[in-house]
């Protein structure tokens, strides 16, 4: 099976993807951190906790199996939180995470979101570099709201131009 990033395609979450979504996320979280109660809520019930409230999940597929994923959680201001991004540990460093993130950004633009927000941890330097290279900036402490995750200590956002701004 070809495992190069070119063999990877991104598609919306489908029924049956629940297991792959959970396994990918649990694997990376448990490697560095502790799986928290909030993780359980989201990973055990992605349809109810992400999709039903207006969010979206994208899956990276290669060779017929899930090799990466990411979600957009609907926020009250019309923006989305980028969350639950994970890549199969055997395929990290091949650009799959970038493909997922760029697809999430494009989806948010298509949906007319004013901004994207995310939380991460200072120890995840490769992830932070990826986010910054795609246009996310760190929020100053006075703009950071308390996180439901103990591990979250870096908050970032990306402002997305509205359709009107693009027409100017």
Give the domain CATH number at 121: 3.40.630.30
For the stretch 11-33, pLDDT in tens is 999 999 999 999 999 999 999 99
Share of the chain above pLDDT 90, in %: 82
Total of domains in the chain? 1
- Residues with Cβ < 8 Å from 82, sequence gap 6 or more? 70, 71, 72, 101, 104, 116, 117, 118
Nearest to 73 by CA among 103, 42, 106, 35: 42
Above 70 in pLDDT, residue 162? no
Rounded Cα distance, 53 and 49, in Å:
7
Q: For residue 93, what are its two tokens?
A: 């460093």
For the stretch 92-115, pLDDT in tens is 889 999 999 999 999 999 999 999
Q: For residue 126, what are its two tokens?
A: 């490769």
Above 70 in pLDDT, residue 49? yes
Nearest to 149 by CA among 55, 33, 70: 33
Task: Determine the structural domain holding residue 71 and report its residue range.
Answer: 5-167
Beta strands 137-138 and 154-159, pairing class: antiparallel
Total-model pTM: 0.90
Above 60 in pLDDT, residue 165? no
Above 50 in pLDDT, residue 59? yes
Nearest to 13 by CA among 53, 76, 61: 61
- Residue 6: band (very low, low, confident or very high) from pLDDT cuts 50, 70, 90: low
Task: Give the model's pLDDT for residue 3.
Answer: 45
């Amino acid at each position: 099976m070809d495992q190069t990033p070119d063999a990877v395609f991104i598609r919306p979450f489908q029924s049956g993807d629940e297991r792959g979504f959970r396994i990918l996320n649990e694997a990376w979280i448990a490697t560095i951190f502790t799986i928290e109660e909030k993780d359980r809520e989201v990973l055990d019930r992605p349809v109810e906790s992400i999709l039903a409230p207006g969010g979206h999940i994208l899956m990276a597929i290669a060779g017929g199996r899930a090799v990466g994923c990411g979600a957009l959680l609907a926020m009250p201001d019309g923006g989305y939180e980028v969350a639950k991004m994970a890549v199969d540990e055997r395929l990290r460093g091949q650009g799959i995470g970038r493909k997922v993130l760029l697809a999430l950004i494009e989806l948010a633009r298509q949906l007319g979101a004013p901004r994207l927000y995310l939380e991460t941890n200072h120890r995840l330097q490769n992830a932070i570099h990826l986010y910054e290279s795609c246009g996310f900036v760190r929020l100053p402490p006075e703009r950071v709201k308390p996180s439901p995750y103990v591990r979250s200590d870096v908050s970032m956002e990306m402002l997305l131009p509205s359709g009107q701004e693009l027409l100017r």
